[in-house]
A and B are shown apart, each in its own frame.
Chain A
Amino acid sequence: MDFASILQYLISGLTVGATYGLTALGFTIIYNTTGIINFAQGEFVMLGGMFSVFFLNVTGLPLPLAVAAAVAATVAVGAFIERCTIRPVKHPTLIQLIIVTIGVSIVIRGLAMLVWGKDTFALPAFTGETPLRFLGATILPQNLWILGITLVLLAALKRFFAGTMFGRAMLACSHNKKAAYLSGIDVQRMVLFSFMLSAFIGSVGGAILAPITMASYDRGILLGLKGFAACILGGLGNPFGAAAGGLILGVLESFGAGFVSSAYKDAFAFLILLGLLFVRPSGLFGKSAATRA
């Protein structure tokens, strides 16, 4: 096994891992505010890609504007979901809300299929498709975009949750809604905002991934699943852990395919995930919940 191949596996793993990580980030935001696992997160990623293709090909916007419009449209969808399916639930329990998100994901997928059809669509790369050579391995310019934007998003989120009043208020809602409310935090607004923010992250991910992974109405299912696994791996509720979990999952899959067998690629990553959960149930970077006697 030569060095160039190992490097190529690493690059390949990071590319795939970034797709999982971006989906995982969206899970984290809603979880952090509401305690809900939003199973429609994969659909946000799908919408980001599909709206980009739609605005580019149908309305003829230039690529950067099409992506921006796609992100705006998905954020609107995110807000709509919260207002029309999450907020009206009377006496909500977590499990009810989680099941609502599963329903929402099925509806979104179905609508996307009706509107855009069942085909796969390709989005042009942002800055050309000439691969860059690097120590015998190759990387596409789009891969650099993906890794770069993921890092920027991650840094911004970290700053937002740890450093701003608004971010802390969102965190407070997840710990104790009533206490947050009593301290003057508008909980409903925070929840709405968390859906919009995670739709934003998801759709940015979808749009920057589409040139490589292509877009289709059913793209969200597997991404949602892998993204959720990445969340668990990194520790639920930790944005850094989610992104790192995604990258680790991607790299594990890629090395598994390269060194063991591509037939067991998915099994390989999930076995490690299972093994880790036995040793550290709170994930790699998660803190176990503090309990008071």
Chain B
Amino acid sequence: MTIRRILVASVFLCAAVACAAFAASPARAGDTIRVGAIFSATGPASFLGEPEKNTVQMAVERINEQGGVLGKKLEVVIYDDETDVNKCVLALDKLARMEHVVAVLGPTVSGNTLAVAPKISRYHIPMISCASSEKIVTPVNPWVFKVAPSDRYAALRILEHIKAAGGGKVAILTVSNGYGQSGRAVLKEQVPTVGLELVADEIYGPTDTDMTAQLTKIKGASPDAIVCWGTNPGPAVVARNRVQLGIATPLYMSHGVASKKFIELAGTAAEGILLPAGRLIVADQVAADHPQKPVVTTYRDLYEKRFGSAVSTFGGHGWDAVYLLAKAIEQAGSDDPKAIRDALEKVTGLVGTAGTFNMSAKDHNGLDQSAFVMIRIENGDWKIIGD
């Protein structure tokens, strides 16, 4: 009796779920283009995902106000993956199966992007990731693109700067997550190529609160420069511990901390730290005749006016993703996912907040080293030291 009841109940439940699924999936409307987005608006990577989500909403509204794309309005369906890889995969399934989107913006972090990449090629929808890992676009997955410049370019900028300053021995300190380990791989590969020597290779956990052990070990190797690769709050702890231990060796950070929050957390320990960063966060200091000047200032003014908080590189990725997609749809003359994918590979000369995108069948990122400028933290603010 009970078993039968359970069976009946589950049949009803299945039917209800199926009905709900049908109700939730609107017919493909003719006058809008449905775009999906997955960002880590909460969880550990929320400092990346939240500005991305805000920016995408803002950019889509702006495009629609200006007449939309191909005469149609863009409609964006945003899911929050909570920086959780499982939720990210589920969100993608929902976007592809129930929302019938023509393209996906995001995800925010590299790990999640890599996890959904095999799926997206099965769904035959193009995806424009906002994460930076190089593995996302090497080897090229026909359906996966990204707007964040590869870590390689940031690493090269740093190493060239060390070399130019006369350094020889380099110590690296990386965070044990996808971002840090991707940076570590590139650094280990590029250090000898640039003509430097790697003398220490240390690692810390994403939520570690004390890195004096690692820094003491690095100090013992007496390097000419320390490169720390991570995102907040770890690098702020590294900066503070470095001052605590009285280490005078120059400290380089990755572009992952290029936000005012880092300076706030590290306090005076942030002074003198060097890092590569996109031009967006130093928009005022970018030369007036630089091609990116109008884009970075427009985006910054719009974002800061609307959300009342300082602009970040990450939000810029959201902006670039939307405009890249809009340009591809226009070039394709169609909102068919396959046509959009083909067009994405042919976008060239698109000036975004991260740099000028020149996509090709072999390069699904379309940026190069020129996406970064070296900046130094002086008096609690950024200062361009080489463009």
| Interface check B265, CB cutoff 8 A | yes
18 extra A-B contacts, CB within 8 A, seeds A13-B213, A214-B209, A253-B213:
A5-B219, A9-B213, A9-B216, A12-B212, A12-B216, A16-B210, A19-B209, A120-B261, A122-B267, A129-B244, A129-B268, A131-B244, A213-B237, A222-B207, A254-B213, A257-B214, A262-B204, A265-B204
Q: Is the CB of B42 within 8 A of A214?
A: no
A214 touches B265 (CB 8 A): yes
Q: Which residues of A contact B (CB under 8 A)?
A: 1-2, 5, 8-9, 11-13, 15-16, 19, 113, 118-120, 122, 129, 131, 133, 138, 140, 209, 212-214, 216, 218-219, 222, 253-255, 257-258, 261-263, 265-266
* B312 within 8 Å of A (CB atoms): no
Given contacts A12-B210, A118-B42, contact A266 B50 (CB under 8 A): no
Taking CB as reference atom, which chain B residue is nearest A264? B203
Q: How far apart are B269's CB and chain A's nearest CB, in angstroms? A: 8
9 A-B pairs closest in CB distance? A213-B209, A12-B212, A118-B46, A257-B213, A120-B233, A263-B203, A8-B216, A254-B213, A131-B244
Q: Known: A131-B246, A222-B207. Is A122-B213 also a contact (CB below 8 A)?
A: no
In the assembled complex, which residues on chain A have CB atoms less than 8 Å from the CB atom of B267? 122, 129
In the complex, what distance in Å separates the CA atom of A216 from the CA atom of B231?
15
Q: Report the bound CA distance from A209 to B237 in whole Å.
A: 13
Tell me if B205 and A265 are in contact (CB < 8 A). Answer: yes
B261 touches A119 (CB 8 A): yes
User: Would you call the interface of chain A mostly helix, strand, loop, or mixed?
Assistant: helix
User: Least Cβ distance of A141 to chain B in Å?
Assistant: 10
Q: A120–B265 Cα gap in the complex (Å)?
A: 8
Q: List 15 A-B contacts (CB under 8 A).
A: A9-B213, A15-B212, A118-B46, A120-B236, A129-B267, A209-B209, A212-B209, A213-B209, A214-B209, A214-B265, A218-B44, A218-B207, A254-B213, A258-B213, A265-B204
Q: What is the minimal beta-carbon distance from A46 to any residue of chain B, in angstroms? A: 12
Q: Which A residues touch B42, using CB under 8 A?
A: 113, 118
Complex CA distance for A127 and B64, rounded to whole angstroms:
55
By a beta-carbon cutoff of 8 Å, the part of chain B in contact with chain A is 42-44, 46-47, 50, 176, 202-205, 207, 209-210, 212-214, 216-217, 219-220, 232-233, 236-237, 243-246, 261, 264-265, 267-268
In Å, the complex CA distance between A118 and B232 comes to 12
Chain A nearest CB, measured from B136 CB (Å): 24
Does B265 lie within 8 Å of A122, measured CB to CB? yes
Which of A2, A8, A120, A262 has most chain B Cβ within 10 Å? A262
* Residue of A with least CB distance to B40: A118
B11 to chain A, nearest CB (A): 31
Chain A residue nearest to B184 (CB atoms) is A263
A17-B217 Cα distance, complex, nearest whole Å: 19
Shortest Cβ gap from A282 to chain B (Å): 29
Bound form: Cα–Cα A120–B46 in Å: 11
Across the interface, name the chain A residue whose C-beta is closest to B264. A122
On whether A214 and B233 interact (CB within 8 A), knowing A122-B264, A122-B267, the answer reads: yes
Name the B residues within 8 Å of A138 (CB-CB). 244-246
Given contacts A138-B246, A254-B213, A258-B216, whether A216 and B233 have CB atoms under 8 Å apart is yes
Q: Which residues of A sit under 8 angstroms from B237, Cβ to Cβ?
A: 213-214
Closest chain-B Cβ to A4's Cβ sits at a distance in Å of 8
Pair A262/B245 contact, Cβ less than 8 Å: no
The complex places the Cα of A244 from the Cα of B298 at a distance, in Å, of 57
A11 to B210, CA, bound (A): 11
Given contacts A120-B233, A120-B265, contact A131 B245 (CB under 8 A): yes
Report the minimum CB–CB distance from A140 to chain B (whole Å): 6
The CA of A212 and the CA of B244, in the complex, are separated in Å by: 11
CA distance A122 to B269 in the complex (A): 13
CA distance A292 to B182 in the complex (A): 58
Chain A min CB distance to B298 (Å): 26
> Given that A8-B212, A214-B265 are contacting pairs, would A118 and B245 also be in contact in the complex, using a CB cutoff of 8 Å?
no
Q: Measured between C-beta atoms, what is the minimum distance from B272 to chain A in Å?
A: 16
Distance from A52 Cβ to chain B, minimum over Cβ atoms (Å): 16
Minimum C-beta distance from A111 to chain B (A): 13
**Which residue from A8, A213, A222, A253 sits with its C-beta under 8 Å from B245?**
A8
Q: Which residues of B contact A15 (CB under 8 A)?
A: 210, 212
Closest to A254 in B: B213
B contact residues around A213 at 8 Å (CB): 209-210, 237
B residues less than 8 Å from A209 (CB atoms): 209
Q: Which residues of A contact B212 (CB under 8 A)?
A: 8, 11-12, 15
Closest to B241 in A: A12
A262: chain B residues within 8 A (beta carbon): 202-204, 213-214, 217
On chain A, the residues within 8 Å of B213 by CB distance are 8-9, 12-13, 253-255, 257-258, 262, 265
How distant is the Cα of A7 from the Cα of B46 in the complex, in angstroms? 37
Nearest-CB residue, chain A, relative to B209: A213
Measured in the bound complex, the distance between the Cα atoms of B216 and A8 in whole Å is 7
Residues of chain B contacted by A120 (CB below 8 angstroms): 232-233, 236, 261, 265
User: A142 CB to closest chain B CB, in angstroms?
Assistant: 10
With a cutoff of 8 Å between Cβ atoms, the chain A residues found around residue B210 in the complex are 12, 15-16, 212-213
Q: Taking each of A131, A140, A265, which has the highest tally of chain B beta carbons within 10 Å of its own beta carbon?
A: A265
Residues of A within 8 A of B204 (CB): 262, 265
Q: How far, in whole Å, are A19 and B232 apart by their CA atoms in the complex?
A: 20
CB of B162, distance to nearest CB on chain A (Å): 22
A218 to B214, CA, bound (A): 24
Q: Which residues of A contact B47 (CB under 8 A)?
A: 118-119
- List of A residues within 8 angstroms of B44 by Cβ: 218
A5 to B214, CA, bound (A): 10
Judging by beta carbons under 8 Å apart, are A5 and B246 in contact? no
Minimal beta-carbon separation of B108 from chain A (angstroms): 13
Q: Are A263 and B176 in contact (CB under 8 A)?
A: yes
Q: Give A151 Cβ to nearest chain B Cβ, in Å.
A: 19
Shortest distance between the CB of A49 and any CB in chain B (Å): 11
Residues on A with C-beta less than 8 A from B244 are: 129, 131, 138, 140
